[in-house]
Amino acid sequence: MKHIDPVCGMVAKEETAKAKYEYKGKTYYFCSEECFDEFKKDPEKYLNSTEKKEMPHKKE
Ligand SMILES: [Zn+2]
């Protein structure tokens, strides 16, 4: 399965991901420890920016 590293936006595969983190019921995968560290510092920042990228239109 493919996942998007929420920090850098790269594709992070389960098999090759360097780190894995469960947050608010979702599992996130990271290409590197650095991205994982960044995410842990401020998860909301990365979750919000990912959401904006994927859904440019307004939510109802
Ligand atoms: Zn990354």
Query: Cα(60)–Cα(51) distance, rounded to whole angstroms?
Result: 14
Q: Where are the domains of the chain?
A: 2-54
- The predicted model scores a pTM of 0.75
Instruction: Provide the sign of the torsion angle of the four alpha carbons 54, 24, 19, 36, taken in this order.
Output: positive
Averaged over 44-57, what is the pLDDT? Answer: 67
Question: Which residues make Cβ contacts (< 8 Å) with residue 53, sequence separation at least 6?
Answer: 9
- How many angstroms does the Cα of residue 59 sit away from the middle of ligand 1? 27
- How many angstroms does the Cα of residue 57 sit away from the middle of ligand 1? 26
- How many angstroms does the Cα of residue 40 sit away from the middle of ligand 1? 13
pLDDT in tens, 29-39: 999 999 999 99
Confidence band, pLDDT 50/70/90 cuts, at residue 6: very high
CATH no., domain 2-54: 2.30.170
Tokens describing residue 51: 């959401």
pLDDT at 50: 47
Tokens describing residue 38: 């960044």
55 pLDDT exceeds 90? no
Averaged over 28-50, what is the pLDDT? Answer: 91
